[in-house]
Structure 1
């Protein structure tokens, strides 16, 4: 059996545990993939993260099968969630966000990851103390 050939790859940021079929249809309808099966798989994989935005890289193959690769929530989302309306992020919160984002960053050094998150926070107008 020859290897599957990739026909499409899309990255979508969807609400965890409740992916809207309409959004999936807009981006993936032309591929012919089974949107209901895709939604069910995404929802089951992200059910524990309800209330968060979880990006997914969706790879569609020429036989209309698919593969999901989940990413960590966007840094800006995690910062907003941590500050909860205030404009200050503590060092402990910064470290927690950096540790969570580490798998998706291009570093394995926690200090470099913290600097990256801190830069995002500054660009959002959030002070790190």
Structure 2
């Protein structure tokens, strides 16, 4: 008899530093998942990306077992890293009011990203993007860079 999927949980956790504290504990505890086992497995698999926020999709089955897939870091974080912008920490899923969001768009004017950097980021993210090839993935990343206010060279 096949296992039945009861839930899919999407979280962002710091690589190699996940803890049973919120948001991980409450999200998994509500579905009866062994939180300590998830934290240990996640930290082991993400030790090389220590501290970087990584999206993770956890599939919970009817017998309370689970599987998880780790996605590549968000393009905005990889772009900030490439051009040397410090990455600010956000308070857990806190959303900004619309007017504050509008003020923040394009706030990284003056920073430049090269075509080589775009290709490197696209190569990291290609499996998570809906792109037919590396050039197409690089164009998607370039669009993200422009929306952040970065200047795309080349």
| Aligned pairs (5 A) from 1:66-81 | 66-81=66-81
SS in 1 for 2:46: helix
CA displacement at 1:11 relative to structure 2: 1.2
CA distance in 1: counterparts of 2:51 and 2:7, whole angstroms: 28
SS in 2 for 1:101: helix
CA distance in 1: counterparts of 2:131 and 2:118, whole angstroms: 16
**Unmatched tracts of structure 2, length 5 or more:** 86-109
1:122 aligns with 2:122: no
CA distance in 1: counterparts of 2:132 and 2:18, whole angstroms: 31
Cα-to-partner distance string for 1:63-120 (whole Å, 9 max, x where unaligned): 1100011111111110111111261111111110011110111123111101100000
SS in 1 for 2:41: helix
Q: Which has the larger helix fraction? A: 1
Q: Is the 8 A contact 2:28 2:34 kept in 1?
A: no
**Alignment: residue pair count:** 128
Q: Which range moves more in the overlay, 3-12 or 79-88?
A: 79-88
SS in 2 for 1:113: helix
Q: Is the 8 A contact 2:52 2:73 kept in 1?
A: yes
Instruction: Name the structure 2 match of 1:48.
Output: 48
Instruction: Name the structure 1 match of 2:7.
Output: 8
Aligned-pair Cα RMSD in Å: 1.1
TM normalised by structure 1 equals: 0.94
CA distance in 2: counterparts of 1:51 and 1:93, whole angstroms: 21
Q: Which residue, out of 126, 130, 147, partners 1:106?
A: 130
Runs of 4+ in structure 1 over 4 Å off? none
TM normalised by structure 2 equals: 0.80
Q: Which range moves more in the overlay, 19-28 or 43-52?
A: 19-28
CA distance in 1: counterparts of 2:138 and 2:16, whole angstroms: 28
SS in 2 for 1:92: helix
Q: Which residue, out of 90, 97, 121, partners 2:114?
A: 90
Instruction: Name the structure 2 match of 1:65.
Output: 65
